[in-house]
Amino acid sequence: VFILETEKIPVMRGQWFIDGTWQPLEEEESNLIEQEHLNRFKGQQLQESFDMEVSKPVDGKEAIHSLKLSRNHVDWHSVDEVYLYSDATTSKIARTVTQKLGFSKASSSGTRLHRGYVEEATLEDKPPQTSHIVFVVHGIGQKMDQGRIIKNTAMMRDTARKVEEKYFSNLATHVEFLPVEWRSKLTLDGDTVDSITPDKVRGLRDMLNSSAMDIMYYTSPLYRDELVKGLQQELNRLYTLFCSRNPEFEEKGGKVSIVSHSLGCVITYDIMTGWNPVRLYEQLLQKEEEELEDRWMSYEEQRLLEELYITKQRLREIEERLHGLKASTISKPPVLKFKVENFFCMGSPLAVFLALRGIRPGNSGSQDHILPRTICNRLLNIFHPTDPVAYRLEPLILKHYSNISPVQIHWYNTTNPLPYEHMKPSFLNPTKEATSVPDSDSASAAPSPTTSPVMVRRHYGESITNIGKASILGAASIGKGLGGMLFSRFGRSSTTPQTLEPGKDGAEGEDKKAMTLGTPPLPHSSSGFLEPTVELEHRIDFELREGLVESRYWSAVTSHTAYWSSLDIALFLLTFMYKQDQEETDKSNLDTI
């Protein structure tokens, strides 16, 4: 149970309950009654089953034991017939009058007590087994509100419970969300930044110091390691604590996923991959050495350069021997004590950091290009279309995916949604790369002054005007790579605006030119979907759908922090985490049939 230091809530076990309402007695009175009950009746046989009919008053039966409390007293008529009476003056008078009228003491003013709750506990009366734990990692701004990640995780957990009850109630397993608060334990620069902050507009400056400053800390070589170690140690501590309280979790193959937000995505990624700026520095030095070899230099420069190479090689050999000796005496523990099954990024700037580190698109559609599957089985990037902090990851693996729409996350209440792995890629913006046409082709791609503008709908409903017919059809003449073929194919699909029909012959002529260059045609369909020759093994970018009455300008302010209570995201997360359990359940049902 995670409780804020400022909001401590005691958790107590109820022992004695009031008949009818089944409300627990106050803790102090309950403890006194329990102690007296055990001293007097310990070892005596209770009724075999809990019978609600025994709540009838015991008329004429004398009390066999009594206990005086501060404002009440308790009478035991038997081991399971216990009544509470008020000793207030008005209660005593009422009790005396009713007894003279022939009513019993219990029926007139007594309150029946029960030891234990109305429902008996059974072996099946326990929460479902936790088969999957999800660590929820916060981003910037935690210093400003230290309890925020706990509140956000609680919102995500509550939302996930609703989804579980509606869609996954047939599964016997359970997903648990655990907050990871790593920022408050760090010292960093102490109060140095606060001491140099001017007093004017102090509130705004303090807010920036408590939020955006985390990004500067992480890019600082002095404090970066402290942030990484802070999150790494907290993840391992929580995992060890959870396993100690749930010893069967590892034995039964429990899985671990991570949901990170904002800057937390970058730190989590660096922990999993072991990325370090020193490695990037070494790569830059190696590149400089290769550039030196290519240029002309004097004999003296060559001799000194050879000596430098020999010295560096000798230094590397000594370092390797030293590391080998250390490794033989001290076994280095893994960075994380668990393997990550799914890494969910929400509102993540990770793609920008990777791009600035030199990651460029490749020719393979494997996730291994940015995150090896031996480290993490599945990477999923979730973002709102107006989130100003979020960036796409797929174009860093295959460049042409910059022109392919992210996968749209299903609405929570969608009936029979199409599984995500069956959703085909579709165009995002067919004219996006028209501005990057090589100079040699610029003449053929230039719009004609006499051409009327064409309206092209973008993915988010925006309109691009002043694009002439020739600028769209001329893109087909590029014929160099996938981008040109995408535009050419799109120009011939049934979704092409009607204003292009007069230029049909011209479009066919351009297609013939493109085909003569030997570029294979890209499989396509009139629905706007495409089937590229190189596809991703799994889609990575997933986009929330915009609301019908949603203001984009307001969403740009609120969308970055709106992920926690989204039912759509909760269903999305559980869909991937319950995927294997759901498949096994469906398979067992088919086998039974």
d(CA 464, CA 392): 22
Burial of 522 (0-12, 13-18, 19+ CB in 10 A): middle
262 labelled catalytic: yes
In DSSP notation, 25-45 reads PPHHHHHHHHHHHHHHHTT--
Angle among Cα 567, 568, 573 to the nearest 5 degrees reads: 95
d(CA 193, CA 143): 14
d(CA 570, CA 563): 9
> Smallest Cα–Cα separation from 74: which of 132, 129, 16?
16
d(CA 568, CA 546): 12
* Contacts of residue 445, Cβ cutoff 8 Å, sequence gap at least 6: 434, 437, 470, 471, 474, 475, 477, 478
d(CA 307, CA 305): 5
* Contacts of residue 402, Cβ cutoff 8 Å, sequence gap at least 6: 392, 394, 395, 428, 432
* Contacts of residue 297, Cβ cutoff 8 Å, sequence gap at least 6: 305
Fill in the amino acid letter for 329: T
CA-to-CA separations, 252 to 23, 28, 135, 303, 575, in angstroms, rounded: 39, 42, 19, 63, 21
**What is the C-alpha radius of gyration for the chain, rounded to an integer number of angstroms?**
35
- Phi-psi group of 523: left, alpha or beta (phi > 0 → left; psi -120 to 50 → alpha; rest → beta): beta
Q: Per the residue annotation, which of 260, 262, 477, 559 is the catalytic one?
A: 262
> Is residue 482 within 8 Å of residue 510, measured between CB atoms?
no
CA-to-CA separations, 273 to 2, 268, 374, 578, in angstroms, rounded: 29, 9, 10, 25
* Local structure of residue 187 (DSSP, 8 states): -
Write down how long the chain is: 593
d(CA 479, CA 517): 7
d(CA 257, CA 266): 16
- Phi-psi group of 321: left, alpha or beta (phi > 0 → left; psi -120 to 50 → alpha; rest → beta): alpha
Question: Active-site positions?
Answer: 262
